[in-house]
């Protein structure tokens, strides 16, 4: 399925579309906090994971693997961080995830009023199960942790320390296969001053490949990335084939829990599996890191 030019997926000057497959076993890929952390489902029963959830796990993995600077962390104070930069472009250059994701900039010094919005160079759509999910296993109640709380005794007026055991809820889907799509926008990268380089593309592909293991949790369960297929176009804007066309070309076949794509490719498009080019990507993604995280 791969071609002789296996590093075509690292070319930052042309458009890349990609399709990926997840296999979930006794899993909860992206629980909904507004629904007791139950797996997210569409109205017609398909399970799904939000793009933000996946992208944040990719960014965390890139930080773990390559030491890159990540803007989207739990302790980020947007006002404090942004006000330290003369321009929003300088902020994007410093933070690996902002290069890829763009963002809304309101406090950098070049923003005189209002805001400056930058679309993401890499976009990912919702990841949805190939078939509707018939069953979500009944909630399992498990002991969580012991907490000591101070409560005022109404009778005596004194403060007493009371131990309380909190309880948590776990939900999971026994089995489902998911498909997701994404796009790298080379024309937008050029417009932004070529923020995404060959090395950053290599780091993104590697972080996507490894994120399921590096961000594994009890709640997520058995969530496995099976493969990623990258479709490379000959131009920055692609051609006559839009992302929906690419999705329709990639027919996923499943047998004995192995997955293959059966593409009906038009002329000029090239497909590579990350599994096949992994050995070539790894040294490029980690090159010269001792000299700093900025490529």
Q: What is the pLDDT of residues 11-31, one digit of tens each?
A: 999 999 999 999 999 888 888
H or E element that contains 286: none
**282 lies in some domain:** yes
φ, ψ (nearest 5 deg) of residue 80: -65, -45
Mean pLDDT of 224-247: 85
**87 lies in some domain:** yes
**212 lies in some domain:** yes
**210 lies in some domain:** yes
Q: What is the pLDDT of residues 139-156, one digit of tens each?
A: 656 555 555 666 666 667
Q: How many domains does the chain have?
A: 1
Alpha carbons 15 and 234: distance in angstroms, whole number: 8
Residue 9 three-state SS: helix
Q: If we measure between CA atoms, which residue out of 201, 224, 202, 204 comes closest to residue 213?
A: 224
**24 lies in some domain:** yes
Mean pLDDT of 183-191: 96
CB 47 within 8 A of CB 271: no
**238 lies in some domain:** yes
Residue span of the structural domain in which 261 resides = 10-137+177-291
**149 lies in some domain:** no
Residue 141 three-state SS: strand
**253 lies in some domain:** yes
Alpha carbons 42 and 173: distance in angstroms, whole number: 14
Q: Given CA atoms 59, 195, 124, 247 in this order, what sign does their dihedral have?
A: negative
Q: What is the pTM of this model?
A: 0.84
pLDDT value of position 271: 87
């Amino acid at each position: 399925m791969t071609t002789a030019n296996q590093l075509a997926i690292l070319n930052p000057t042309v458009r890349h579309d990609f399709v990926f497959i997840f296999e979930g076993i006794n899993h909860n890929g992206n629980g909904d906090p507004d629904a007791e952390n139950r797996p997210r489902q569409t109205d017609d029963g398909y399970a799904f994971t939000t793009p933000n959830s996946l992208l944040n796990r990719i960014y965390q993995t890139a930080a773990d693997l390559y030491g890159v600077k990540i803007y989207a962390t739990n302790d980020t104070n947007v006002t404090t961080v942004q006000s330290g930069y003369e321009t929003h472009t300088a902020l994007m250059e410093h933070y690996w995830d902002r290069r890829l994701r763009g963002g809304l900039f309101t406090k950098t010094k070049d923003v005189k009023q209002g805001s400056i919005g930058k679309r993401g160079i890499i976009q990912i759509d919702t990841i949805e199960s190939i078939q509707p999910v018939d069953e979500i296993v009944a909630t399992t109640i498990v002991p969580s942790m012991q907490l000591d709380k101070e409560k005022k005794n109404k009778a005596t007026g004194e403060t007493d320390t009371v131990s309380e055991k909190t309880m948590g809820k776990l939900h999971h889907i026994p089995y489902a296969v998911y498909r997701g799509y994404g796009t790298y926008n080379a024309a937008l990268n050029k417009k932004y001053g070529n923020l995404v380089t060959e090395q950053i593309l290599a780091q993104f592909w590697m972080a996507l490949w490894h994120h399921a293991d590096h961000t594994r949790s009890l709640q997520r369960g058995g969530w496995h990335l099976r493969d990623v297929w990258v479709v490379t176009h000959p131009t920055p804007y692609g051609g006559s084939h839009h992302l929906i066309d690419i999705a329709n070309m990639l027919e996923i076949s499943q047998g004995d829990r192995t997955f293959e794509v059966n593409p009906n490719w038009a002329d000029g498009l090239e497909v590579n599996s990350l599994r096949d080019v992994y050995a070539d990507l790894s040294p490029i993604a980690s090159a010269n890191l001792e000299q700093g995280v900025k490529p």
